[in-house]
């Protein structure tokens, strides 16, 4: 067999796949039903699935206290491998080391896997939040999740028994690293740029994507299909919007779309690094990092996610950053441009962001034609028209959506 041209997985020569199949899965599922049950949050469930399919290679389970602390403080596990965000499981009960437990989805009540507990430990939640999110502000959605974790963290190797509803509900978009790598191999690609999405693609996303295609063999539009914060556009609506855009405005031979089952952490720079880690596992050589990557509100500077990539030590990460400047529609240029290419003033520019688009659509406001392609806007208007008034969530604007970014100071 010819040697793969693709980048190797993170911290490993091969994908670390923990998902059991066939009789081995059936036997473990029967055993799981006899074990003490630990109910997981959607974030923990998504992390478990990701370990199952190899997306979190080289992890073999939920992190120990030493790994948790090393990741928070230095972005490094005890074995020296780079990792930017803790992957932990919390519970309100302590288990003795060596105890086997059954892992259950709190959302679906399905048995998702088993774990042999190696350690139970308490964490300093403020320490984690300050290091990972750079803030302990309870209004930050990522901080809120950490602060609501249970008293004990449970560490240990896992066996994964299910991918939950993702393969069926998102058939045709949900992919494993094995599947994406096979597609890239068949296309003969070596350099693949990943575009992270949690919003439908507006013209700025489209511009970033096409810049990446110009300098790569292909583009991987990789969208989150896990849980988001209130007010974000649901995954199924976003998938339809992105499919419509790719079908009508891209060379389909140069684009692959995929979906992954994690919850958004809104960790800004640290999450940008995590995105690169698992995109490497999916076979991508480059990660597009633009304005306010994985940010929320004004907690991060518009290019903090790029800055943290530049500060990584040699050998930390094989997947390289593809940094792109602030982009916008310039009326004087007559098209999309960036701070590097446009000489005109702010009043000549239309700054594009998912937040601004959601706010305009949720309030039935006008959306400039330059903001997004008409077929995409039509789908979004249909979605927002169907939301009942009592179910609407106020969308708050922030500086990164308007070009007036000011970083929010920690409380």
Site of tokens 């041209």: 5
- From the number of C-beta atoms within 10 Å of its C-beta (0-12, 13-18, 19+), residue 362 rates as middle
Q: Is 198 a catalytic residue?
A: yes
Between the CA atoms of 57, 59, 62 and 68, what dihedral angle is there, to the nearest 10 degrees? -110
Task: Check residue 362 and give left, alpha or beta (phi > 0: left; psi -120 to 50: alpha).
Answer: alpha
Site of tokens 């009043």: 347
Select which of 43, 153, 181, 199 is catalytic: 199
Residue 258 tokens read as 């995929």
Q: Can you list the alpha helix ranges (DSSP code H) found in 199-315?
A: 203-215, 235-249, 269-281, 304-310
Select which of 198, 238, 265, 349 is catalytic: 198
Nearest to 272 by CA among 409, 130, 75: 75
Q: Burial code of 153-184, b = ≥16 C-beta within 10 A, e = fewer?
A: bbbbebbbbbbbebeeebeebbbbbeebbebb
Q: How far are the Cα atoms of 63, 70, 102, 110 from residue 162, in angstroms, in the given order?
A: 20, 30, 12, 8
DSSP bridge pairs for 350? 329
Residue 184 tokens read as 């890239």
Nearest to 221 by CA among 249, 260, 163, 272: 260
Nearest to 182 by CA among 211, 220, 155, 144: 220
Give me the DSSP letters along 139-200: TSHHHHHHHTS-SEEEEEEEEE---TTHHHHTTTTB--HHHHHHHHHHHT-S-EEEEEESS-
Q: Is 281 a catalytic residue?
A: no
Active site positions, annotated = 198-199
């Amino acid at each position: 067999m010819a040697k793969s041209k693709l980048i190797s997985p993170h911290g490993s020569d091969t994908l670390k796949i923990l998902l059991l199949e066939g009789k081995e899965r059936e036997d473990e599922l029967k055993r799981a039903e006899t074990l003490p049950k630990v109910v997981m949050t959607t974030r923990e469930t998504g992390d478990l699935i990701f370990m199952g399919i190899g997306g979190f290679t080289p992890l073999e389970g939920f992190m120990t206290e030493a790994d948790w602390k090393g990741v928070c403080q230095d972005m490094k596990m005890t074995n020296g491998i780079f990792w930017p965000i803790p992957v932990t499981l919390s519970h309100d009960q302590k288990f003795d080391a060596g105890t086997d437990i059954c892992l259950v989805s709190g959302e679906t009540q399905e048995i998702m896997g088993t774990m042999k507990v190696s350690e139970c430990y308490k964490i300093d939640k403020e320490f984690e939040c300050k290091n990972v999110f750079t803030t302990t502000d309870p209004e930050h959605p990522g901080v809120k999740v950490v602060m609501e974790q249970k008293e004990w963290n449970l560490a240990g190797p896992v066996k994964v028994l299910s991918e939950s509803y993702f393969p069926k509900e998102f058939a045709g978009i949900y992919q494993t690293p094995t599947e994406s790598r096979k597609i890239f191999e068949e296309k003969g690609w070596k350099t693949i740029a990943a575009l992270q999405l949690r919003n439908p693609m507006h013209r700025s996303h489209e511009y970033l994507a096409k810049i990446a295609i110009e300098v790569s063999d292909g583009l991987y539009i990789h969208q989150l299909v896990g849980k988001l914060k209130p007010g974000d556009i649901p995954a199924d609506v976003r998938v339809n919007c992105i499919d419509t855009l790719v079908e009508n405005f891209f060379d389909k031979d140069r684009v692959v779309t995929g979906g992954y089952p994690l919850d958004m952490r809104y960790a800004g720079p640290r999450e940008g690094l995590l995105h690169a880690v698992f995109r490497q596992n999916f076979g991508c050589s480059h990660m597009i990092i633009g304005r306010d990557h994985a940010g929320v509100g004004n907690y991060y500077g518009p290019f903090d996610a790029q800055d943290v990539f530049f500060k990584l030590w040699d050998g930390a990460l094989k997947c390289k950053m593809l940094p792109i400047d602030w982009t916008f529609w310039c009326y004087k240029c007559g098209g999309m441009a960036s701070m590097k290419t446009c000489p005109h003033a702010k009043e000549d520019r239309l700054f594009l962001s998912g937040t601004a688009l959601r706010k305009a659509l949720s309030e039935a406001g006008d959306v400039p034609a330059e903001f997004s392609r008409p077929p995409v806007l039509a789908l979004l208007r249909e979605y927002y028209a169907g939301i009942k008034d009592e179910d609407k969530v106020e969308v708050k604007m922030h500086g990164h959506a308007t070009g007036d970014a000011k970083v929010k100071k920690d409380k």
